[in-house]
Structure 1
Amino acid sequence: MGAMSESVSVRCPACRREHFYEAPSYPCVCGAPVAPALDGHGTATAVAHRAWDEEWVTVRCADCGRDSQWPYPELGCGCGTVLRVPVATTSAVPSPEAAAPVRRRAFQPVAIRTARDAVTAAALYLRWLGYRNIRRADQRPPAGIGLAAAGLLAQVEPTVRPASRRDVECLWLTAMTESASCVYFSLAGYSPDARTRADALGVPLFVLDLTGTPQAVNAHADELDAAGA
């Protein structure tokens, strides 16, 4: 059985209000739920600025021993402060000596309420496809947020602006210079010429609905969804 999250008491350093927080669980590629172990004796800190490396925490699945990165636990206080909940340091679970090939389970999305949620949803989907070591792309795209994995560049447009032809072309050109494939995620969809250009360039296009589930827009996206990484 996968790791289960426990509720801990979290005190806001700004207003001293006390909250009870339970970290959400996420599906490992093996299908087991995993959640970061919370430090009930630690002190929550206010999020003053965003840094990509601080947005993620490595969690090991107790069922298959796989290490994956998941969103760092955060809690919004009623006073307006965003709290980063302390995570316990846990000992590693040894990986199985001979793991059998894992068949992908159904994708389990996370609801999208903020731009950060949209990026998280795209990262979770890419991990479900089989991509590893997902991180913020080294080169910032002209629009949206760039993600990278081994051999892949992804772009996430978390605003209400449909992605344009130029957006698709810029992603494709950047991927070509890095000898990588690419994929685009958008909340508001794509302009007609963006879809036409993506079809010609072989760029998979996905629309993120508010449940956090990527919906394939073109045949290239259908193929990626079916085949995985």
Structure 2
Amino acid sequence: MAETVAVRCPACRREHRYTAPAYPCACGAPVAPRLDRDGTATPVSHRVWQDDWVAVRCGSCGRRGEWPRPEVGCPCGVVLRVALAEEDEQGAAARDDTPPADVPPAPEAATDRRAAAAARPPFLSVTIRTARDAVTATALYLRWLGYRGVRRADQRPPSGIGLAARGVVAQVDPAVRPATLRDVECLWLTAMTESAECLYFSLAGYADDARARADTLGVALFLLDLTGTPRPVNAPADVLSGTGTGTEHRAP
């Protein structure tokens, strides 16, 4: 259950009640940082990328992931960084860019997903000549993976075209430049607000720092070639391509 603590602004002395948000782990369990009830909130005077994230361990599967550090905006204009329990603070100080080790699914679930994937018909691609063709190919691939009700996403991404289905958000990037670190992080943050998985499809590939960050956050990256067949380019995408979503598959 998410914790609620009292946070006092050192500038105006106004007190706030703050509840830590919970984010979905890759295993499906909700994860929230542990707050320090006796700690003191600190004003944010300037932004440093490493300080905006905290490493939190999932209590269900043990996976350690990076999540946005808890903050409170006071009406006086001060942004307050909420104090964390010692374990999470140590995790934040010790974290690096090494992707967390994947925790394999339960043997029964893995077997069921592999069996469903083996029963899938071959993916039927469409040749990509336009940006619209790229969106069509991606929508067909999402259906092939097992997602149902694929539609245009309600929230438009900063670049490219967004698609959504139950439990997933996807971004199709037909640009001629590689997808950037910001592109990947914006997609991940959108997925967090929807409690969904996220998949990125790019025609031009990915910048090195974007690929590294995607591995850390568990974002599945695919490369779209002109035949319209998405190719997994990192481990999360490779696993999803091999096993699908575990739902019933039908030909697109």
Query: Match of 2:171?
Result: 155
Structure 2: distance between partners of 1:142 and 1:199: 21
The reply to whether residue 115 of structure 1 matches residue 131 of structure 2 is yes
The reply to whether residue 177 of structure 1 matches residue 207 of structure 2 is no
Structure 2: distance between partners of 1:169 and 1:224: 20
Structure 1 or 2: larger helix share? Answer: 2
Query: Match of 1:105?
Result: 121
What is the alpha-carbon root mean square deviation over aligned residues?
1.6
1:196 is matched by which residue type in structure 2? Answer: A
Query: Match of 1:194?
Result: 210
Write the deviation string for residues 2-22 of structure 1: whole angstroms up to 9, x where unpaired. xxxxxxxxxxxxxxxxxxxxx
Structure 2: distance between partners of 1:101 and 1:182: 19
- Point out the structure with max Rg over C-alpha: 2
2:119 is matched by which residue type in structure 1? Answer: R
Higher relative contact order (CA 8 A, sep 6+): 2
CA apart distance, 1:197: 0.2
1:225 is matched by which residue type in structure 2? Answer: S
Query: Match of 1:135?
Result: 151
1:175 is matched by which residue type in structure 2? Answer: A
Write the deviation string for residues 101-121 of structure 1: whole angstroms up to 9, x where unpaired. 992011111000000000000
Query: Match of 2:97?
Result: none
Q: Which runs of 5+ in 1 are unaligned?
A: 1-99
2:214 is matched by which residue type in structure 1? Answer: A
3-state SS in 2 of match to 1:197: helix
1:223 is matched by which residue type in structure 2? Answer: V
Write the deviation string for residues 108-164 of structure 1: whole angstroms up to 9, x where unpaired. 110000000000000000000110100000000001000000010000001212100
Judged with a 3 Å threshold, the aligned counterparts in structure 2 of structure 1 residues 101 and 164 are, in CA distance, closer, same or farther, namely closer
Aligned residues: 130
Query: Match of 1:213?
Result: 229
Structure 1: distance between partners of 2:220 and 2:192: 15
Structure 1: distance between partners of 2:243 and 2:154: 27
Structure 1: distance between partners of 2:241 and 2:118: 16
1:183 is matched by which residue type in structure 2? Answer: L
User: Pick from 229, 243, 246: which aligns with 1:227?
Assistant: 243
User: Pick from 183, 188, 193: which aligns with 1:167?
Assistant: 183
Judged with a 3 Å threshold, the aligned counterparts in structure 2 of structure 1 residues 101 and 190 are, in CA distance, closer, same or farther, namely closer
Give the alignment's TM-score, normalised by structure 1: 0.55
Whether the aligned pair in 1 keeps the contact of 2:117 and 2:243 (CA below 8 Å) is no
3-state SS in 2 of match to 1:162: coil
The reply to whether residue 144 of structure 1 matches residue 154 of structure 2 is no
List 4+ stretches of structure 1 deviating above 2 A.
Answer: none
Whether the aligned pair in 1 keeps the contact of 2:221 and 2:232 (CA below 8 Å) is yes
Structure 2: distance between partners of 1:149 and 1:101: 19
Query: Match of 1:5?
Result: none
1:158 is matched by which residue type in structure 2? Answer: P
1:127 is matched by which residue type in structure 2? Answer: R
Aligned pairs (5 A) from 1:59-138: 103-138=119-154
Same amino acid, percent of matched pairs = 73
Structure 2: distance between partners of 1:222 and 1:215: 8
Q: Which runs of 5+ in 2 are unaligned?
A: 1-115, 246-252
Structure 1: distance between partners of 2:177 and 2:169: 20
Whether the aligned pair in 1 keeps the contact of 2:117 and 2:242 (CA below 8 Å) is no
